[in-house]
Amino acid sequence: MANDDLFKKLISHTKEYGFIFPSSEIYDGLSAVYDYGQYGVELKNNIKKFWWDSMVLLHENIVGIDSAIFMHPRIWEASGHVGAFNDPLIDNKDSKKRYRVDVLIEDHIQKLEDKITKEVEKAAKRFGESFNEEMYKTTNPRVLEIQGEVDKVRTRLVDALKADNLEELKQIILDTELVCPISGTRNWTDVRQFNLMFDTKLGSVTDEANTIYLRPETAQGIFVNFLNVQKSGRMKIPFGIAQIGKAFRNEIVARQFIFRMREFEQMEMQFFIAPGTEMEWFKHWKELRMKWHKSLGLGDKKHRFHDHEKLAHYANAATDIEFEFPFGFKEVEGIHSRTDFDLGSHQKFSGKKITYFDPEKNESYVPYVIETSIGVDRMVLCVLSNAFTEEKITKEDGSVDERVVLKIPAALAPVKLAIFPLVKKDGLSEKAREIHNALRFEFNCQYEEKDTIGRRYRRQDAIGTPFCITIDHTTLEDDTVTLRYRDTMEQERIPVSKLREILSDKVSIRTLLQKLG
């Protein structure tokens, strides 16, 4: 199945099964804003817990905070967001559609790269086992021609972005003969810069009210609390402050479902270090964050680093962890060496001294920072897109059935255990309720007695429940139940007394944290 189809199916599945709804749907929705439903919020909370615990529980020198969304407007001048949080955009005069220029050009590059992949696939079929992909890519004239074009366009894009050269960005669009995907024309406006921050008014009388911004990142709430946390917690460098919270960006190109939203959630950790140690810590956090992603077992080849060619105004090194979504490899987390830019800048704008006295060095300095910044919603999308599976099952009588199953890592699954009495009578419901009552204080369990067991299994598969148990007449005799595994659909008979152990072993966040050591 084409990835596009798969992605569409995933989006409708998440709506049908209570994971993600378009915001304000009965009013025809609000572009790039989404609501999480009853299962979506559980998945999201589990992801947040895994991240939070991996930072705050596993590190003696990392603490968490929860700062307000509204902050003093000068903060966004100090951070550079008022001056530099811009995206270059262009409008198509016929369709009146607005695009981010870098996204338009990157889509063009992606199309060229897809062409190379197709050429290689065709050749692989033609040559069979003797096919040498590397050799083909470095010698085939057609592939080399396309690759040359990819390299040329990419270099021009990077140079133009680095230099903020808006004319050159427009020229690339003209030279590559890019057309608007809606109108199909090349009738473009000039390229302009557009600030991504939402603003609103603080105060009751509009005339006197101050313009303030909805934060476009959670990081600044950490920087402006650096002294508070360091002093009240008697923190010694190196130490980190972690935060999970909403962020808002007036994204121009809002698409790809929850990948790019206007209201989203971030999990950010700022690690404060001595100047001069940043490359060592940058490497350390790169490795640790990749380990966190890999511990979820989403697939060996699903992640990669993408080092930044154009560094943000605050960074002296930066990389993205990219995940292979159905629409290709895209950023899920950024790791940035932010130097002393933020604290230094807040010191300048606020007029307050923001330094740390290092007892070992016997000197004061403005600390350097390594930041790890990951989108909660993008993580939800990683997990869901990886989990979504359509399977054909051959039944005992030879007929073929289909199921859709979300193979979500058990520790992140919204519901951990579904409990089914085989029938409602003969005391089976009561026995099932008794088991439910014993486990529901520790695990998210769901009791279901309607429909056939087969149907109940399908519904749990569709929301990714890793375990189902069935209570039947034998249960009343020997206190055993049938445990059914989601991914293999295997079943085994186990004593009720073993359920708690099996569940804590397989579904608790602890199992993931232990992999991180």
* Residues at the interface with ligand ATP (CB under 6 A): 217, 249, 251, 260-261, 264, 266, 331-334, 373-375, 377-378
Question: Which two tokens mark 135?
Answer: 């050799």
- Amino acid identity of residue 476, one-letter, is L
Nearest CB to ligand ATP, comparing residues 103 and 150: 103
CA angle (213, 52, 346) in 5-degree steps: 35
Nearest partner of 71 among 205, 196, 232, 247, judged by Cα:
247
| Rounded Cα–Cα distance for residues 4 and 15 (Å) | 17
* Cα–Cα distance for residue pair 99/95, rounded to 1 Å: 11
Query: Which residues sit opposite 88 in a β-bridge?
Result: 193
Name the residue nearer to ligand ATP (CB basis): 260 or 416.
260
Contact 323, 292 (CB under 8 A): no
Cα angle 450, 454, 456 (rounded to 5 degrees) comes to 40
Within 8 A by CB and 6+ apart from 369, the residues are 223, 270, 271, 272, 273, 337, 338, 339, 340, 341, 342, 343
CA-closest candidate to residue 198, choices 76, 343, 325 = 76
Rounded CA separation 293/291 (Å) = 5
Beta-bridge partner residues of 95: none
Residue nearest to ligand ATP (CB): 375
Closer residue to ligand ATP (CB): 89 or 507? 89
Name 282's Cβ contacts closer than 8 Å, sequence gap at least 6: 317, 335, 337, 370
Contacts of 110 by beta carbon, 8 Å cutoff, 6+ apart: 328
Minimum CB separation of residue 154 from ligand ATP in Å reads 16
DSSP letter assigned to residue 251: -
Q: C-beta of 86: minimal distance to ligand ATP in Å? A: 12
Nearest approach, Cβ of residue 143 and ligand ATP (Å): 28
Minimum CB distance to ligand ATP, residue 91 (Å): 20
Closest separation in Å from C-beta 147 to ligand ATP? 24
- Helix pair angle (141-162, 166-175), 10° resolution: 160
State how far the Cα of 228 lies from the Cα of 208, in Å rounded to an integer. Answer: 31
Q: How far is the CB of 485 from ligand ATP (least distance, A)?
A: 32
* Pick 336 or 486: Cβ nearer ligand ATP: 336
257/281 with CB nearer ligand ATP: 257
- Smallest gap from Cβ 502 to ligand ATP, in A, equals 34
Residue 44, phi then psi, degrees to nearest 5:
-65, -45
Residue 120 or 158: which CB sits closer to ligand ATP?
A: 158
Nearer to ligand ATP (CB atom), residue 58 or residue 196 = 196
As measured in angstroms, the least distance from the Cβ of 324 to ligand ATP is: 15
Q: Which of 210, 213, 211, 212 is nearest to 196 (CA)?
A: 213
Q: Which residue, 249 or 486, is less far from ligand ATP as judged by CB?
A: 249
Q: How far is the CB of 135 from ligand ATP (least distance, A)?
A: 35
Other residues' Cβ atoms within 10 Å of the Cβ of residue 39: 23
CB of 151 vs ligand ATP, minimal distance in Å: 21
Smaller CB separation from ligand ATP, 291 or 498 = 291
β-strand partners of 307: 319
Closer to ligand ATP by CB, 220 or 465: give it: 220
Instruction: Give 377 or 472: the residue with its C-beta nearer to ligand ATP.
Output: 377
In angstroms, give the least distance from the CB of 150 to ligand ATP: 20
